[in-house]
Amino acid sequence: MAGSSAEETLEAGIRAARKLSMDGTRAIYDLTSGVDFSKPRRTAEAIARVVWEQDVESWWTWEGTEPVFKPNRTVEIRLPRDPDRKVAKAAAEFQADLKEEFAPSIDSYLYSLNDDRADWFSIFFLGPLWTYILQHAENRQRQQEALDRLFAEMAGCIVVVPR
C-alpha cells in the first residue's frame, strides 16, 4: 500500500504541474521542482502515465485496424538536469526490458536514442505506445509501417526540455 500511496502522490504532483495554454494548444509540465527524481524510472513511468492520460491517449483513434494519429496540442515536459546520468541508466534498463519483450521490432527505434531527450522520450512513451499499438494491430507489416509514421509524427508534438 505504501508504494501505491507514493505513486499516487507522485502522479498528483505531476498533474498539479500541468498548465494548459490559454488557447489550449500547448500543455506544459514544469517538473523542474517539486517532483522527486531520486528514482528516475519510477518517476518517468509516473510522468508517462499522467501525460498519456491527460494528453497523448486522446491523440489516437482507430479506423478499422489502422491507428490514426490526430494530436490536438503539443506537450512540453520541463525536467531538471541529470548530472549523475540517473535518467540515462534508467532508460538503458527500460530499453533492455523493451528489447526483451518486443525485439526485434523495437531495435530500430532504440538505436537512434542517444541523448538526454531521447532517454526521457524512451522511458515516457515507447512502452505505453507499443502496448497500445500491439493491443489493436493485427497485421505485422502494416503495424511496422504505422509505427514508423506515428513515431515520426508524435516526435514533433512532444518536447522534453532539460532545464
Nearest to 153 by CA among 45, 40, 58, 70: 70
Give me the phi and psi of 83, to 5 degrees please: -65, -25
Q: For the chain, how many structural domains are there in total?
A: 1
Host domain of residue 108 = 2-162
What's the rounded mean pLDDT across residues 84-94? 69
pLDDT band with cut points at 50, 70 and 90 for residue 159: confident
Place of cell 500543455: 27
Residues 20-48 have pLDDT tens digits of 999 999 999 998 888 888 887 788 888 88
Higher confidence at residue 40 or residue 134? 40
| Alpha-carbon distances of 64 from 52, 57, 73, 131, rounded to whole Å | 22, 18, 24, 18
Q: How many residues does the chain have?
A: 163
Rg of the chain (C-alpha set): 16
The mean pLDDT value for 53-82 works out to 83
Contacts of 78 (CB under 8 A, 6+ apart): 28, 29, 30, 31, 32, 161, 163
pLDDT in tens, 99-121: 666 555 555 555 555 555 566 66
